[in-house]
Structure 1
Amino acid sequence: MKYRSKIGAIWIISMITMIWLNIPLIEKAASNTTVFIVLLIMIPCDLYMLDLTFRTYYVLEKDHLFIRCGIGRPLKIPYKDIHTLKETHNPLASSALSLDRIDLVFKAQNGGNGEDEILISPVRKLEFIQQLLLKANHIKVLNNL
């Protein structure tokens, strides 16, 4: 099952602000070289944020959780490697577009030692957790989800 990332108010405000700030720059770019250079930097950033908005999702596949976050390298976490999950509102950068998040702790991938964690924000959070627990009932839920 595929779950899109929930888009929070802070993300929406950021997107609107980004577009609003670019409008005056576009109008002045033809007559000012410095503004044109700033736009050359800003437009790729804008496109990256748009890509994150439309291509951040999570897929519960047969034997692993697939996490896509824009143009970044996707992450595949085998269910057997997921240890715990808990609800969080941690604002750290992550593959979540909302502060209504799930913190997944899992065995480090690609030969790494120890544990790693990732923050995700599926739209239907409780349904996502239920489906995840059906595929991997060994996962510990650490708070009231």
Structure 2
Amino acid sequence: MGAETVRYRSKVDLWLFLLLLLNFLLVIYFLSAEWSWVGAMVNVGVFGSVLYLLFYISYDIKGEDLLVNYAAFYQKRIKISTINRIKETRNPLGAPAASLDRLEISYGHGHILVSPKKKTEFMDHLKSINPKIETQLRKRGK
């Protein structure tokens, strides 16, 4: 029997969703004012696609692998045994993460930024498979 897969969904920042929604509504408004219904319908399709991609991001732990799912058809496979550090960050670089509340996962000769909703549970799960993972958490204010 295959290994059980546990899925962790990406956190989606409200400000990001609202920014996309505002952009969509402004484009629809200006296109409809010009009677460009074809352009408005294309924009609806593009907006739907962007939302799908935004809410599709997830991180699966399957056996000894971490699978980072993004861009609908793209999946990055990382051997959990190669992960050496998980660090909290707010790095804004492009990443398979829909929130700036991120984790930087360092593995082998690379790193990736992720933003699971359940960060602590996600980190604990990875550490249960590879106890050698070092974690660096940001200091919290009072």
Identity of aligned residues (%): 25
Matched, 1:127 2:132: no
Consecutive unaligned residues in structure 2, runs of 5 or more: 1-5
Residue in 1 that maps onto 2:3 = none
1:34-79 alpha-carbon deviations (Å, 9 max, x no partner): x856874x45542332122221111111110011113241111011
Contact 1:18 1:46 in 2 (8 A): no
Query: How far apart, in 2, do the equivalents of 1:71 and 1:143 lie?
Result: 30
Contact 1:25 1:39 in 2 (8 A): no
TM-score, with normalisation over the residues of structure 2? 0.80
Contact 1:3 1:122 in 2 (8 A): yes
TM-score, with normalisation over the residues of structure 1? 0.79
Decide which of 2, 18, 29 is 1:24's aligned counterpart.
29
Contact 2:98 2:115 in 1 (8 A): yes
Matched, 1:63 2:57: no
Structure 1 residue 28, shift from structure 2 partner:
4.0
Q: Secondary structure at the match of 2:74?
A: coil
Change beyond 3 A, Cα 1:116–1:102: same
What aligned pairs does 1:1-145 form with structure 2 within 5 A after superposition? 1-28=6-33, 31-32=35-36, 36=38, 40=42, 42-43=43-44, 45-107=46-108, 115-144=109-138
Query: How far apart, in 2, do the equivalents of 1:11 and 1:79 lie?
Result: 30
Higher mean Cα deviation, 49-58 or 17-26? 17-26
Query: How far apart, in 1, do the equivalents of 2:110 and 2:46 lie?
Result: 28
Consecutive unaligned residues in structure 1, runs of 5 or more: 108-114
Give 4+ residue runs of structure 1 displaced > 3 Å after superposition. 35-40, 42-45
